[in-house]
Amino acid sequence: MKKIDRYILSKYLTTFFFCLILFTVIVVVVDISEKTDNFVKSKLPVSQIITDYYFGFIPRIDAMLFPLFVFISVIFFTSKMAGRSEIIAILSSGVSFRRFLLPYIIGGIFLSALLWFGYQYVVPKANLKWANFESRYIDGPAPPGSNKANYKQNLYFKTDSNTYVGIRGYDTLLKTGNGFFVQQFQHNKLLYNLRSDQFNWDTATNKWKLFNAVERRLDSISERITRSQEKLMSYNFKPRDLRKDEFLKDQLPTSELDEFIKLERLRGSETLGMLLVERFNRDSIPVSVLILTIIGAVLASRKVRGGSGLHLAIGVIISVLFILFGRFSLVFATKGNFTPLLAAWTPNIIFGFIAFYLYKKAPK
């Protein structure tokens, strides 16, 4: 790596991280001003608010706007270089335009890998931490019978081709519920029935603990009844499977999301499209960082009368179009018949062609 490469790469990374840190500080200050009353009512120490809330809130916001700030950062520092005729001097010295883009590509790959790692492991855990704090201290606890997001009522689903599970009420935050029953059929005849007044998830054994459980096993001529004060049962569903909300997919690490998608596909779930789009987005969004880096470098490398202001205006327009394409693809995938894989990658495909076209038309 030559001196000019280190110069451009350092400008790229320092500008990006400066913008990201500055924006993060502004967002945190605004968020604190809005939630001060909730923090005071929670009676939590500042250290716990930081670790339980802002350690989840900050990665969530930064990941959401990561590609946008990459794009704006590239346009900003590149237009400054163009305004000072640095790019003209670089190209006039015999450096090809392709060679000039090399440090941009290296920086784009590095930031793409950073965002990819974040989406696979860090961001889902941050989303879960943020959501749990919001449910407990911001939105308030969910009493039985309420319509809070963390309290689910009247759940009924299949665990296999012959077994059905029903739940009257379940608190996804406390992982406790009531009115639990299991029914198993064969040839349209009931063979097994289990009912329990209360149940919860036992973290020590990773099983469901049932209280006051009554089991009935039926055959053609007799019925056997077994009663248990406490009973540990292992089923093929976990607490996460009972959280039937639109935010669950954002809070599962990729390995768990893949496993959850397999189960939902077997169950024929209606939310399968949303889950697949989320899974493919975790790979496609980091790639958009590299594509937007190339577009920003090509656009801002030309010296124009409007300077960096004109370049930034063009950058904002392109960013808005990129976000709109992503939103349209998501809607068509979840509400229509658009393939989730194409929905996740369509913005990258379209803007990839735009990047190639701009590169071919850029003054060399």
**Residue 49 C-alpha from the chain's centroid:** 22
pLDDT-based confidence at 268, cuts 50/70/90? low
User: What is the Cα–Cα distance from 53 to 189, expressed in whole angstroms?
Assistant: 50
Domain boundaries, the chain: 3-139+272-361, 161-238
Q: Are 170 and 180 in contact (CB under 8 A)?
A: no
Q: Per DSSP, what are the bridge partners of residue 152? A: 170
Give mean pLDDT, residues 261-273: 76
One-letter amino acid at 293 equals T
User: What is the Cα–Cα distance from 159 to 236, expressed in whole angstroms?
Assistant: 7
Q: Which of 132, 150, 351, 127 is nearest to 250 (CA)?
A: 127
98-154 pLDDT tens trace: 899 999 999 999 999 999 999 999 999 999 898 888 878 876 554 444 445 577 888
CA-to-CA dists, residue 109 to 1, 9, 103, 292, 299, angstroms: 15, 12, 10, 11, 19
Give mean pLDDT, residues 320-336: 75
User: What is the Cα–Cα distance from 181 to 196, expressed in whole angstroms?
Assistant: 6
pLDDT at 363: 66
User: What is the Cα–Cα distance from 132 to 173, expressed in whole angstroms?
Assistant: 7
pLDDT at 149: 59
Indicate whether 309 pLDDT > 70: no
Q: Which of 132, 127, 205, 212 is nearest to 174 (CA)?
A: 132
Neighbours of 85 (CB within 10 A): 11
What SS3 class is residue 176? strand
Q: What is the CATH number of domain 161-238?
A: 2.30.30
Residue with more model confidence, 204 or 319? 204
68-93 pLDDT tens trace: 889 889 988 988 888 888 888 888 88
Residue with more model confidence, 2 or 311? 2
Angle of helix 307-335 relative to helix 55-83, nearest 10 degrees, comes to 140
Q: What is the pTM of this model?
A: 0.77
Output phi, psi for 218, to 5 deg. -115, 140
Give mean pLDDT, residues 340-346: 87
189-221 pLDDT tens trace: 888 999 999 999 998 888 999 999 999 988 877
10-47 pLDDT tens trace: 999 999 999 899 999 999 999 999 888 888 888 889 89
pLDDT at 44: 87
Output phi, psi for 123, to 5 deg. -65, -45
Give mean pLDDT, residues 45-66: 91
The torsion angle over the Cα atoms of residues 247, 249, 250 and 256, rounded to 10 degrees, is 140
